[in-house]
Chains A and B, each alone.
Chain A
């Protein structure tokens, strides 16, 4: 299994600011993903974080709003830029092994 940690666990931010979320895994993994879970909703994939290259974004998500870094096989960051109240969500990173995908504990973001 993979042990995943995220920082911060929660934050309250002002409209127009940016927040960077960190995801750390205890072992090297090839695939890392970032999901968003809006209140009471399902999980939606934001992007696949590729090590050493640009992230692959899903429809409706753009790099300027959600820049992602993946400097190595155990770490990734997601930045939520120029935040608005609609960005209030839980942001989860996940990693895949040959057997399953594991999720981090999530970052609960509230934008006021």
Chain B
């Protein structure tokens, strides 16, 4: 089955700096790669996703890149703000409608 590895497990940055979280996956059949943000005590919320026919996607301060050959994808957050502090999970699946395999999560702390 699919295996998703995520690094780093914790990341601390100063407000205004950039943050990068990286994930690798094992199953070449995976074509859908979402990123979820989970604030303490809340449900995971989708922040951005990318499909295998696209190499990069951007939404304001958030971007995701995908290298399907190397089986890795990354989340980039620019101009970080304290409200970006949360746990971020990457995931992989065959389609947007199928079962997700999650990475272990990254605790991002943005220091004012």
Contacts and interface: CB of A to CB of B under 8 A. Distances in A.
Contacts of B99: 33, 45, 48, 58
A92 B104 CA distance: 17
A31 interface: yes
Interface residues of B, number: 19
B43 A99 contact: no
B63 interface: no
Contacts of A44: 102
Contacts of B45: 103
B12 interface: no
Interface of A: 30-31, 33, 41-45, 48, 58-59, 92, 94, 96-106
7 A-B pairs closest in CB distance: A96-B97, A103-B43, A43-B102, A42-B102, A42-B104, A100-B46, A42-B105
